[in-house]
Structure 1
Amino acid sequence: MNNNLKIGVFVDAENIRYNGGYQLRYDILRRFAARFGGNLLRMNTYIAFDQERAKEDYEYAKRARSYQQMVRDYGWKIIVKIVRRYTDEEGNVTTKANADLDLAVDAMLQSEKLDLVLLVTGDGDFLQVVTALQDRGCRVELLGFRNVSKELQRQVDDYFSGYLIPDLLPISYEPRNEWGSPGSCVRGICSKWFPDKGYGFLRFIKRIDPNLWITDPRDAESPYESVFCHANELADGVTDELLSSRENVLEFYIEKSEKGDGMVANNVRLVPSYGNHGL
């Protein structure tokens, strides 16, 4: 562990919420950001708030403030972005609460005292910000869910799918899920698939760990676990072609194998497309 590492986390909350990360757990995100040890000097999240709606909708105002307080309790600084309404020439009303500029400026200014910056977004508009942070000597990591810019993924020093981080996004239909335990539901990828044999192997992260770069589950220091999967356990629509790409995240249950010490996968399906939810 590097106790001298200075870390900053910047969360584009609206981008994440609309792209699969609704219900992201800020306590788990904090643990993930600090997996190397070190000091979390900055933890900023940029959250939209609709003042006009709050005046008329008491429940919305109550939920929004309760949510903000919960995030604050985990040690995060909240930067509230007020929702603005714009009316075009045809009378159509659009809303916007863009935090890009605020996040970019804060990340640049505050990076002078940081070694590692974790950006939580999928917005390709941050490409130049990433380059500038790297030019300053910062290591830049990216975490996102859906619709993550490919250019941004290539530019950062490391990219992580938020779906794969244990407990970062709750399994909605398994509220007491114990990630990684027999009988639990996890998310992972297909590491090997043999279409002619009708089976293959899936891989998931067992725990938040600084050794996420050790992807071979056979290594004792690896935080990954390999799971056997038979074609009979694949849900409709999970094809050989989909399994051949590691960009496709799978959700599945794990059980102890009856034939050995390993794990087997049940009810394997693609990660559901989480809808756009509001507070």
Structure 2
Amino acid sequence: MPPIHPDQRVAVLADARNLYHSSHSVYSRNVDYASLLEAAVYDRKLVRAIAYVVRAHAPEEETFFEALEDIGFETKIKELKTYSDGTKKADWDVGLSLDAVTLGRHVDAVVLCTGDGDFSRLCSHLRHEGTRVEVMGFRQSTATELIEAADSFVDLSERTDRFLL
């Protein structure tokens, strides 16, 4: 795959729920999305930045969504579903994957900000189509198969001073 250069067009797709759970389980801290976006773009041409979030009707949730938009992310919001047996579910795997495949045709690189191994097949597909795939996540909670499927991996744990609030 080609190296990173300033003329590359890039799309940044952030799995906010995965990043939240990873940063809280390991560090009990929040992700600095401004620093995340800046590092993901890396002096290239940002085409689109999307944060995939779940509305769970928690305090400060709307403030967080607005902050993401102020930083430069478009937010895609899914409602948390509660099933009759009490289980709760809301994930963006299909939506994020469809956006990545669609955007992959219009950019040189897709940056996936997640540790979810379910996206390893997506990485392989995008790379096969000629799109560079970069993954940013916390090593302790990033699936090995996702790291191996990407062109590059940025371990957010190596720079907690930059990537955590």
TM-score, length-scaled by structure 1: 0.53
**Structure 1 residue corresponding to 2:102, chosen from 96, 106, 109:** 109
**Structure 2 residue corresponding to 1:6, chosen from 2, 5, 9:** 9
**Structure 1 residue corresponding to 2:111, chosen from 97, 101, 118:** 118
Q: Please identify which structure carries the higher strand content.
A: 1
On the 8 A contact 2:136/2:155 being kept in 1, the answer is: yes
- Quote the Cα distance in structure 2 between the aligned partners of 1:66 and 1:122: 25
- Quote the Cα distance in structure 2 between the aligned partners of 1:168 and 1:13: 13
- Quote the Cα distance in structure 1 between the aligned partners of 2:62 and 2:91: 19
Secondary structure of 1:137's counterpart equals coil
Higher Cα Rg, which structure: 1
- Post-superposition CA distance 1:78-110 (Å, at most 9, x none): 00011001123xxxx011111111000000011
Secondary structure of 2:162's counterpart equals coil
TM-score, length-scaled by structure 2: 0.88
Q: Please identify which structure carries the higher helix content.
A: 2
**Counterpart check, 1:44 vs 2:50:** yes
The code of the aligned residue for 1:41 comes to V
The code of the aligned residue for 1:75 comes to G
- Quote the Cα distance in structure 2 between the aligned partners of 1:83 and 1:19: 19
The structure whose RCO (Cα within 8 Å, separation 6+) is larger is: 2
Residue 34 of structure 1 deviates from its aligned partner by 2.1
Residue 3 of structure 1 deviates from its aligned partner by 3.5
Trace 1:159-170 onto structure 2 (pairs within 5 A). Answer: 159-165=153-159, 166-170=161-165
On the 8 A contact 1:7/1:114 being kept in 2, the answer is: yes
Trace 1:49-64 onto structure 2 (pairs within 5 A). Answer: 49-50=55-56, 54=57, 60=59, 63-64=60-61
Residue 20 of structure 1 deviates from its aligned partner by 2.1
Residue 141 of structure 1 deviates from its aligned partner by 0.9
1:99 corresponds to which residue? 92
Q: Considering only aligned residues, what root-mean-square deviation do their CA atoms show, in Å?
A: 1.6
**Counterpart check, 1:134 vs 2:127:** yes
Structure 1: which 5+ residue stretches go unaligned?
171-279
Identity %: 27
**Counterpart check, 1:148 vs 2:146:** no
- Quote the Cα distance in structure 2 between the aligned partners of 1:34 and 1:141: 11
On the 8 A contact 2:121/2:149 being kept in 1, the answer is: no
On the 8 A contact 1:163/1:169 being kept in 2, the answer is: no
